[in-house]
Amino acid sequence: MHDAALRVDGFPCTFATAEDFFFGGLAKAADVYSGSPMGSAVTAADVGTLPGLNTLGVSMARTDYAPWGGVNPPHSHPRATEILFVLDGTLEVGFVVAASRLLGRTVSRGEVFVFPRGLVHLERSVGAAPAVAVSAFDSQLPGTQAAAAALFGAAPAVPTDVLARAFRTDAGVVETIKSKFAPN
């Protein structure tokens, strides 16, 4: 049992069993078809699912992708650099740098790609078979900021006219997009 009085970064830092240092959740594929409009699913092994990571500064995640277009949409990790290792399949990956330039390439089974801390990045399956990648992070809790959800699902809402100007579209289009995102 965890000592509730001793906490670091909001998480218990006293451990009683080997189970505090074990997580079997990366062993099985996640369902990328039902309930996943993106055709992808992320299973995190971070301090929230693996208490023994507290104060160690590392974590991992498994991402499963549907074939031909399963997407992990544009997002960033504010507290971590990510190194992605493709276990199966083929992904198109990339991140956006200054001057809105996308640095991307195709990454196949056995290959690695790095996303620097805080930069918006994405992955997309481009093969006929499902893809699987494992990511390692230099943080026990890297955080994920999904770009579309942050802009179109914020509560209180980002003003429609601001988003319309930013995306060079009209308010009706922005409102339609907003209707697809539940407020955070």
23: helix, strand or coil = coil
Compute the distance between CA of residue 119 and CA of residue 103 in angstroms, rounded to an integer: 11
Alpha-carbon distance 179 to 92, whole Å? 29
Question: Smallest Cα–Cα separation from 77: which of 139, 18, 124?
Answer: 139
Say which residue the tokens 């992320």 belong to.
42
Cα separation of 178 and 135, whole Å?
A: 30
Please check if 123 is assigned to a binding site: no
54 a known binding residue?
A: no
**d(Cα 114, Cα 85) in Å, to the nearest integer?**
9
82 is in an annotated binding site: yes
Q: How far apart are CA 133 and CA 29, in angstroms?
A: 11
Q: Is 72 annotated as a binding residue?
A: yes
| Structural contact between residues 20 and 52, judged by C-beta atoms closer than 8 angstroms | yes
For residues 142 and 79, is the Cβ–Cβ distance under 8 A?
Answer: yes
Identify whether 156 is preceded by a cis peptide bond (ω within 30 of 0).
yes
Query: Which residues participate in the annotated binding site for oxalate?
Result: 72, 77, 82
Query: Which residues participate in the annotated binding site for Mn(2+)?
Result: 75, 77, 82, 121
Query: Which residues participate in the annotated binding site?
Result: 72, 75, 77, 82, 121
